[in-house]
Structure 1
């Protein structure tokens, strides 16, 4: 807990991750009690209507007594089966580096680990012996954008320059890349790959949706607090007008960030879910709270000795310590070695992957600070290329591992990335943090609270006087002593090993072994009579190849299915919110009848020309293509020029064909838009609004302390029919009995007062439960039919997953046969189990 009442800290990142880059209109935010400070943090008024509303939506978490963090000793890695694990990361090198250490540790357990991140980190990951998959996106662009827009809400200059649209295009590319990273073959070897589990940092955003599409477990790991707690506010939030009982507003601050994030990215995510994953759009009321409601496990990568786990975090949240990779075998250049040996340890200045707006001015401030304090200095050029001439007291450095360098300096001055902060503290070095965005101010507060450095200096307030004063403090015995004490605590931890243990411990019970090859996880299920079998990719392929099992009868086994429903609190809000959503969808679909034909007309016009929209939209994707051959640098430009010239030489017959093509495209677009309008109307009247009403009346008894029934998950028309029948039977039955039972129960438990309350519940229940029974009989089957139709329409996604599973099974089987696996052993085990099951009198399912 720091001197500002904030607990602080995180894990290795050498350049900290950008927070979500969303667009929320500034005037809307201010109207809701939100504004952006100069350091990019969100100023939230605790008395605003938005905070009060979000406080009611956020589920309360009980406090619990937490045991001290466990001690982890050296053990021989073991785990009951091997998994294909994809680690999805969005951010800078500092975000990627700790997961490289994690992936290396996971490989010791036999897991196949793929890191999916930006293209520029490919060689870094491959050199570590891990698989790599590119998800697109340019971290340099992200860093430049975040320096310009340090908070969640972009500045007006960015809005005018179209930066937000560019970032949303980049996010759409990243979402697509993350999904492909779960299914695409290895780029180097061509070996098929299907993810069995996902590890991700929260800003990658695709994680929970990919996990839902595949039905596999998800585990989030991050270097800054991202989960609601009463212990401290969100690092991106600066609270104002905080009441005395401020615990609740700390929790609400996380909801504010989630709400803002969903406002900016919800549309992009839902379009991607609908068109690529074949999943239903997430309701706007569920999007901001999705991870909390699904109880996704988190592992936080900071030292519990500095920031203990809050007592209101659940058991599936862990604080494990920083992720440090093994120290690299680094050989310094003669110039660096000579400089370090020429005098006392220098002070390190560097801002890593931060893209500075004015690197010349920053260089000037650093140089004058060095002159004023009389220290020797190493200046890391970084992505901003801080420049100047070397001299006796100053060395400019391009690249050097912090793990090696920070052992040989006296203090460090940097941007406050979690990994850089951790590396400095691990080596006992006093630290000056100049934060730019994200959680960097949070880290600055943490260092200051520990007395291992001065208060953070926001980069816009950086000048010679403030920096010289900060450097002077770092050279005092007090700062050196505090930093060394922190280093002693951190060296007793092993964050990577603890994180791997946390990942294994939080895997769901549904992740089970294959019945025939227990060293592999089950990913197929097969039913023979009343018996069920769980089969791995290899076992299923053996049985299919030998014609013992029909491939068409194999079904995908999902060890961790995710179901997302629109939760209703009562009939009034349920019906009103569903009605408003339906009205908005109708208006949008109606406007598309006019807009879509116009859009189709413009698209047909641009088929033979390169429009500005096409060029900008394809900029990101084109970065993935190889550049033109150096020997013919003008070929691309020439071919584009020829294409433009040829498109302008149209004969009269070609012009006529183009006109007919435009008309046909416009008619087709109008027809499709009209069909969507009709579909929205039917869906709203027959399913969405009645379902919202039925759900509202279903949960209504909970408002007065009565039981709320659960009819099971509606996944298709069968489960919908079952839910409808249950709701009708239970609702009608209780509406008749409650008028007698509730008064009796009330009188038994509370006398006359209880009898009066029972009369109210019974009378109220007659109306509510009878209405629910009538609506549910129609709404739940309608919901099931709608989901069955959607599943059939988007069947290509399911077919892709099944085909990729089979393809990987074939590849794995070939490799295992080379190692001595015999088909006969697997077949005999399956047939022997089948014979045993056939003679077993117990008709219960085999699990």
Structure 2
């Protein structure tokens, strides 16, 4: 379903022709506003809702469109195959074990409001049923909310109320001038940096309350947490993304945050425009936060992500993705591969709730009321919003429960209105006739599950998207952007939600949603994408392998507990074990051709050298300012204590004063030398590593420009793999280049006659030049890169040692506190000895009944 709005005025045959097939014709709305154009087209046409205008005729969009997969080109076999049974869109019926085979430590990283956290609480509880240990890492204010649900909690910092207030003031990707002048951008960047650190610590820090060690075996995250892929790369563990709004490129509909400016001049069809919108939004996001993320990556011993790879990193790496919305609203696009799933909304078990007396009395005094609330949204003018809501309720003659929310709405006396504090939606929505809210995915899902007609007043993010999806289903009117909300349109929306047609549509959606099992399906999707073959301990089945022990040519995978027992009994030297890479993530700097590849490498090198040159002056200035601030603080302290000279300063002739001057001079010289060192480091890496590698990879990629498949080489991780890749590339390049002189004209002539043969001659000459050039330069580039990686691994070992230490600490804890499962030490020792034996010397172990 293509959904790009154009400048031409010709209406489509039907405003509902492109709706998902799951929406039947008998529940479509009769609301006049939706007849202006295709509802899904309007996903990209609403103004003042935070979406960024995307000019499809711009140079960036036209460039990005060249990388869009052609619908006529068949996908690779791995992506063309239909999704397996457990990806069934309406609940699935795959036969999987009731409890997963391997019990993992799972950290769930979530950034957002309570509505963003709550679905993951439900997910965490479901994961616990499979024997997993689950920790939710999110903002500090949700500590009790998470722990009360029986889950572990780790604080990552960040203030969700400040984030919500910022998003209301700046609903799009581009902040307002007022925000720029107020310094809020820098505050947000600092908050993101704090949350990145918090997410990393959540992977291997003990529980803040109990002190019980915890090291993550897998990561689940929502995309705005930003740290997910990078933490998984450093930890070498699987990562799975889950979200409530479209975040993966598709031709079916545009990015919810993109407002496409479509015209015939763009020369781009609507489906391609939709696909491009995801790249544009990701590029804008990376422009704002890419440097913050890369600075943080250095602290966990990871190299910066190249500019060309950062925006669509999760898609490039094919990270498994589960979308937690109902397929009854939005079906899975056909161009999403099998590792991306749409599973249904996440619902937790209904809480045991007893309403307070004022709520119980209000419900009993008249007909069921409507619900109005904006949850975690922080509104600039809560008094004005309250007056608008109350007047619309009075005008329509309904009774209403208005949630105070984070904006603390209220302060107006009205007999038919009750201002309510915190109350679980699962209980409350079963006692109202309709719901009016901001359009958070969780609140939307809860209202529809209860069969309540819904009106959405979107503020930012995915809220307009969900408003339009609800309207498309007929369960509510077209959404009212918060800046356009007034008494008149809210009154009309209330009247629409009370119609039999809206009630019938909402009831139909509720019936289908109740047949789904969103949380259970999401857990099956998570399990199905785990690398089970590399995840399980060879001794204790059901425990994840975190260590690799080598005995001759044999590799033995060990869990934390098994490793702890073997360490205690001196069967394994802790210095001779390795981290088990259950999932290796490698971010490759792709080069499309030698010109752009070499140019970007030279620009990057020049930028690094310029930055290092500035550091020669900047770093000493920072050191001087820090020393001066420290001295001023010392002087102030001396004044408050009445020490020092009459003016609170040190005597000029004091020896310590001289030593302080010498110390400052030395620190300034050291800081300046650091800048000089950085200059030569940037120069050396650029001209001896990055540029030769860019030339090699650029020439190697040339045959792809005329349709030839270029084989991938193994990752260069050390000097050995660098030498192997250089040799393979040399042989392949030289032989392939010479062969092309004959093969390409022959193939061209066979397929296209004389003209095809002429083209083949051109391809052959180009192939010979590019392949031999790549082979020649690669003899130096690949080994050089491999040596650099080997040296870097030796020097950058702090994070690796921290991971090893944390895993050993948890292993020792598990040995000392085995819980309900006693440790069979003789079995572990016997099984390890059995695995260490050569095949010819093996005898049957004591028992194969593994713990």
Deviating more after overlay: 710-719 vs 138-147: 710-719
- Report the secondary structure of 1:527's partner residue: strand
Residue 12 of structure 1 aligns with which residue?
A: none
Given that residues 91 and 518 in structure 2 are in contact (C-alpha distance below 8 angstroms), is that contact kept between their aligned partners in structure 1? no
Residue 784 of structure 1 aligns with which residue?
A: 786
1:134-173 matches, cutoff 5 A:
134-173=155-194
Residue 537 of structure 1 aligns with which residue?
A: 560
2:294 to 244, 263, 270: 270
After TM superposition, give the deviation of residue 838 of structure 1 in Å. 5.2
Q: Please tell me whether residue 523 in structure 1 is matched to residue 546 in structure 2.
A: yes
- Report the secondary structure of 2:131's partner residue: coil
After TM superposition, give the deviation of residue 196 of structure 1 in Å. 0.6
After TM superposition, give the deviation of residue 448 of structure 1 in Å. 1.4
Cα shift readout 1:804-832 (whole Å, capped 9, x = no counterpart) = 11111111122238732221101111212
Separation in structure 2 between the aligned mates of residue 426 and residue 746 of structure 1, nearest angstrom:
60
1:46 to 40, 53, 56: 56
Q: Please tell me whether residue 451 in structure 1 is matched to residue 497 in structure 2.
A: no
Given that residues 545 and 580 in structure 2 are in contact (C-alpha distance below 8 angstroms), is that contact kept between their aligned partners in structure 1? yes
Q: Please tell me whether residue 130 in structure 1 is matched to residue 151 in structure 2.
A: yes
1:132-281 matches, cutoff 5 A:
132-242=153-263, 245-274=269-298, 276-281=299-304
Given that residues 7 and 446 in structure 1 are in contact (C-alpha distance below 8 angstroms), is that contact kept between their aligned partners in structure 2? no
Residue 795 of structure 1 aligns with which residue?
A: 797
1:447-526 matches, cutoff 5 A:
447-526=470-549
Deviating more after overlay: 456-465 vs 675-684: 456-465
Deviating more after overlay: 831-840 vs 150-159: 831-840
Given that residues 701 and 765 in structure 1 are in contact (C-alpha distance below 8 angstroms), is that contact kept between their aligned partners in structure 2? yes
Separation in structure 2 between the aligned mates of residue 333 and residue 455 of structure 1, nearest angstrom:
34
Change (3 A) 1:640 1:235: farther
- Report the secondary structure of 1:102's partner residue: helix
Given that residues 278 and 791 in structure 1 are in contact (C-alpha distance below 8 angstroms), is that contact kept between their aligned partners in structure 2? no
1:601 to 617, 620, 624: 624
Separation in structure 1 between the aligned mates of residue 709 and residue 514 of structure 2, nearest angstrom:
52
Q: Please tell me whether residue 688 in structure 1 is matched to residue 709 in structure 2.
A: no
Given that residues 638 and 648 in structure 2 are in contact (C-alpha distance below 8 angstroms), is that contact kept between their aligned partners in structure 1? no
Q: Please tell me whether residue 380 in structure 1 is matched to residue 390 in structure 2.
A: no
After TM superposition, give the deviation of residue 709 of structure 1 in Å. 3.5
After TM superposition, give the deviation of residue 573 of structure 1 in Å. 1.0
Deviating more after overlay: 369-378 vs 827-836: 827-836
Residue 28 of structure 2 aligns with which residue?
A: none
What TM-score does the superposition give when structure 1 sets the normalisation length? Answer: 0.89
2:598 to 551, 575, 600: 575
After TM superposition, give the deviation of residue 711 of structure 1 in Å. 2.8
Residue 125 of structure 2 aligns with which residue?
A: 104
Residue 617 of structure 1 aligns with which residue?
A: none
Given that residues 35 and 43 in structure 1 are in contact (C-alpha distance below 8 angstroms), is that contact kept between their aligned partners in structure 2? no
After superposition, the CA RMSD in angstroms is 2.7
Structure 1 unaligned runs (5+)? 10-33, 612-637, 841-847
Residue 659 of structure 1 aligns with which residue?
A: 661
Change (3 A) 1:462 1:601: same
Separation in structure 1 between the aligned mates of residue 485 and residue 122 of structure 2, nearest angstrom:
34
Separation in structure 1 between the aligned mates of residue 410 and residue 91 of structure 2, nearest angstrom:
46
Deviating more after overlay: 203-212 vs 367-376: 367-376
Residue 830 of structure 1 aligns with which residue?
A: 832
Separation in structure 1 between the aligned mates of residue 523 and residue 821 of structure 2, nearest angstrom:
28
After TM superposition, give the deviation of residue 607 of structure 1 in Å. 2.1
After TM superposition, give the deviation of residue 756 of structure 1 in Å. 3.7
Given that residues 8 and 443 in structure 1 are in contact (C-alpha distance below 8 angstroms), is that contact kept between their aligned partners in structure 2? no
Separation in structure 2 between the aligned mates of residue 707 and residue 98 of structure 1, nearest angstrom:
43
Deviating more after overlay: 280-289 vs 63-72: 63-72
How many correspondences in the alignment? Answer: 790
Residue 116 of structure 2 aligns with which residue?
A: 95
Residue 385 of structure 2 aligns with which residue?
A: 362
Given that residues 322 and 343 in structure 2 are in contact (C-alpha distance below 8 angstroms), is that contact kept between their aligned partners in structure 1? yes
Change (3 A) 1:479 1:737: closer
After TM superposition, give the deviation of residue 544 of structure 1 in Å. 2.2
Change (3 A) 1:548 1:294: same
Deviating more after overlay: 329-338 vs 735-744: 735-744
2:823 to 801, 821, 824: 821
- Report the secondary structure of 1:44's partner residue: strand
Given that residues 694 and 775 in structure 1 are in contact (C-alpha distance below 8 angstroms), is that contact kept between their aligned partners in structure 2? yes
Change (3 A) 1:84 1:219: same
Cα shift readout 1:752-801 (whole Å, capped 9, x = no counterpart) = 55544443333333322221122101111111122222222221111001
Separation in structure 1 between the aligned mates of residue 45 and residue 603 of structure 2, nearest angstrom:
28
After TM superposition, give the deviation of residue 743 of structure 1 in Å. 4.4
After TM superposition, give the deviation of residue 730 of structure 1 in Å. 2.7
Residue 706 of structure 2 aligns with which residue?
A: 704
After TM superposition, give the deviation of residue 583 of structure 1 in Å. 1.3
2:89 to 64, 69, 75: 69
Change (3 A) 1:45 1:764: closer
What TM-score does the superposition give when structure 2 sets the normalisation length? Answer: 0.88
Structure 2 unaligned runs (5+)? 4-14, 22-43, 843-851
